[in-house]
Amino acid sequence: MATFPIRVPEEFYKGRDRIHSLLVDEDHNFRYRRDLILREELDARQSAALTELEMQMADPSAWRRIRLSEQQMMILDNKRYLHARTPIKDRARHLKRIRFNMECVA
């Protein structure tokens, strides 16, 4: 599987401003943020693969739209769910990123 050049966003910077990573791994875990992929550095094969992935993501039949009501919360595993959100226009809206690093206990 090919890796892709990805810019590390400022909020995750730990000494490296870029990495090379799979966009989808063998367990179907996603690592995709359109704005961070360094497209100008892709070769023809990577570009074709990215185009195919983005065509699949653009298919509305694969989408599930969820509207949260006031006081609702959604918790997602970022590796399992490819997701997007609407722009935050309401200054009272609160978006918090929390990381859980723990082993699965059966």
Tell me: the pLDDT tens digits for 13-54?
Answer: 899 999 999 998 888 888 888 999 999 999 999 999 999 999
Q: Determine the straight-line distance between the first and last CA of the chain, rounded to whole angstroms.
A: 31
For the chain, the domains span 1-106
4 CB-contact burial (10 Å; exposed 0-12 / middle 13-18 / buried 19+):
buried
pTM of the entire structure? 0.70
